[in-house]
A and B are shown apart, each in its own frame.
Chain A
Amino acid sequence: MLFNEPNPLETKVLTKRFHLPDSASIDTYLAHDGYQAFLKAAQMAPEKIVEEVKLSSLRGRGGAGFPTGLKWSFVPRTSPKPKYLICNADESEPGTCKDRLLMENDPHQLIEGMMIGGLAVDGHKGYIYVRGEYRYLIEKLDKAIDEAYARGWLGKNIQGTGFDFDCYTHSGAGAYECGEETALLDSIEGKRGIPRMKPPFPAVAGAWAFPTLLNNVETYSAVPNIIRDGGAAFAALGTPKNGGTRLLCLSGHVNKPGVYEVPLGYPMLEFIEKFGGGVRGGKKLKAVIPGGSSCPVLRAEECDIAMDYDTLAKAGSMLGSGGMVVMDEDTCMVKAMVRIMRFYAHESCGWCIPCREGTIWLRKSLQRVHDGGGVARDIDMIDELAKNMLGRTFCALGDAAAMPTISFVKKFRDEFEAHLDGKPCPYEHSREAALV
């Protein structure tokens, strides 16, 4: 099911079957190239599969943007230990809602992607770690898996290729931190989702201490397309080192929010205009969070930018998970920051001191500043607390909380100052008016 109208300007690669009737069924899938990439890959040398993925310049779609082919090459495929595949379907980064669509509308594409990963690393069991809130998707995935078994696309000696592959779903139960890949591994082992020390990396010692290939839903879903059409063709869709398309999740103050598939490197302002239908109510654009709440915010004047990993990184932000949040001129940036920090404080696993204490004290301090209880030095304190978290926490959650904070304070300091010394939030009135 789709929750927003597709846009004719989309470059539909991963979403190309979404509009088909009963798109999630194996019949639809098989009638439209389904599992052909797997059959092709089964004839390829494993090294060649990895090579093809490298060639595609596919980068991790979960948020970190690590080159996927390189990650695949780290798994010791000749190790006598069993190798496992895990799909990170713990989509939780605020602003992000794309994996949901991929699992709902084309689950077999994901399963096929994992199977190809299995061929590449000699892995024969795949687990899809789905966030607990997505229960209906677990049911849909289970149905797709059952179909695949029934039709001989999972199980022993798949379609006579001699390759065995089993696939299972695993439910999370509400924890953003489990989207961090090593925390996810602890979680799938039945423990608290606490990140692990690296090295060893999951490729070498992952789930149950076995070599593990771990990728995001969108990453795995891209793989059948890469194998089928060739890595070069996928790469050519995007910009150099930023291959292919992305599902961008447009939300916030736009006329037509939705998830749209566009090539990497697509211009941000054009995207907001042509896909989002511009800022809602004819208001002026104030800011954009380009890739989920952990990304440093961009001011309107910084938004004339190509959306790929490297360009956004150069601009001091990130493409992240593709969750693009648009904020208009009436948005209280302090309030937005309070809400973002509330999230990180709620989700901090508590393992390390700077994240556990940093997020909660930032939350309290930001709330106080928003509510008029701040004094001038609080702004510097907020900045300092965030900087003392940045790069100093056990895992990236601390960075995810610190980066937006630092950018909000830096870029919208005047708004913080406007809330100090008992002054009411200058946006309360206009925001209420906008909602009426």
Chain B
Amino acid sequence: MTFSPALESRFEKLLTIYPPGRQRSAVVPMLLYAQDEIGSVTPELVEEVAKRCGVQPLQVDEVIGYYSMLHRKPLGKYHVQVCTNISCLLVGGEELYEHAKKTLGIGNKEVTPDGLFSIEEVECMGACSWAPAIEVNYDFHHFVTPEKLDRLIEDLRKAK
């Protein structure tokens, strides 16, 4: 399996920053960075990461279901993560989540037919004082209202 030059060089660096013989440490970051590039954690990726880090594929399998950001199925191009945890809940996070599902016509962890969007109800993402908050891929959006969300989705749809 080959990756983009940028990702390859990131992997290369990851394998050098941990103490000698401790390359297993690179497993989780590698999976996440690779998922960003190829869309999901595929069986090939599991084998590849296992090989590169010198571990058994089972040891890679073990972490995939453990870390909630790792997905075996592809997500939308824009993964809309809506926080409904306590601080967001108090100021409309749940309503925002319901609104997002309705606007995009999909449920939790589902992808729109065009593959553009997916939704996930997520736990606290560290934006409590600026709630309700969402994260689209890795971009934070604060003080989000249903109207703001609709505009954002519209913009992303245009930008593709």
Contacts and interface: CB of A to CB of B under 8 A. Distances in A.
A contacting B, Cβ–Cβ less than 8 Å: yes
Kindly state the interface size class of chain B when it binds its partner. Answer: 35 or more
A172 B67 contact: yes
Given A4-B130, A136-B139, A191-B62, A253 B90 contact: yes
Contacts of A189: 22, 24-25
Contact of B87 (A94, A133, A135): A94
B124 A251 contact: no
A94 B68 contact: no
Contacts of B122: 133
B3 to A, nearest CB: 16
Interface in B60-107: 62-63, 66-70, 81, 84-87, 89-92, 95
B126 A174 contact: no
Nearest to A193: B66
Contact of B130 (A97, A190, A192): A97
A366 B160 CA distance: 42
Contact of B129 (A176, A188, A258): A258
B131 to A, nearest CB: 6
B47 interface: no
A99 interface: yes
Kindly state the interface size class of chain A when it binds its partner. Answer: 35 or more
Interface string A315-358: 00000000101010001000110011001001101000000000
B19 A347 contact: no
| Most chain A CB inside 10 Å of its own CB: which residue of B66, B87, B135 | B87
B62 A192 contact: yes
A324 to B, nearest CB: 9
A253 B33 CA distance: 37
Given A192-B62, A193-B66, A253-B91, A92 B126 contact: yes
Given A249-B129, A252-B87, A325-B87, A343 B124 contact: yes
B24 A435 contact: no
Interface string B135-147: 1001110100000
Interface string A287-311: 0010001000000000000000000
B23 to A, nearest CB: 8
B128 A191 contact: no
A349 B89 contact: no
A9 interface: no
B68 A175 contact: yes
- Grouping DSSP codes into helix (H, G, I), strand (E, B) and loop, the B interface class, with mixed when no group exceeds half, is mixed
Given A172-B28, A339-B85, A94 B123 contact: yes
Nearest to A134: B126
Given A251-B131, A340-B86, A99 B126 contact: yes
B19 A173 contact: no
A293 B87 CA distance: 9
Contact of A3 (B22, B29, B124, B130): B130
Contacts of B116: none
B63 to A, nearest CB: 6
Nearest to B67: A173
Contacts of B92: 435
B42 to A, nearest CB: 16
B66 A339 contact: no
B80 to A, nearest CB: 13
B32 A132 contact: yes
A259 interface: yes
Interface of A: 3-4, 82, 91-97, 99-100, 127, 131-136, 166, 168, 170-176, 187-193, 208, 210, 249-253, 257-259, 289, 293, 323, 325, 327, 331, 335-336, 339-340, 343, 346-347, 349, 435
Interface of B: 17-19, 22, 24-29, 31-33, 53, 55, 59, 62-63, 66-70, 81, 84-87, 89-92, 95, 122-131, 135, 138-140, 142
Given A95-B87, A171-B29, 8 more contacts: A4-B130, A94-B128, A99-B126, A133-B135, A136-B139, A174-B67, A176-B123, A190-B59
By Cβ-Cβ distance, the 6 closest A-B pairs, closest first, are A174-B69, A173-B67, A190-B24, A174-B68, A251-B87, A190-B27
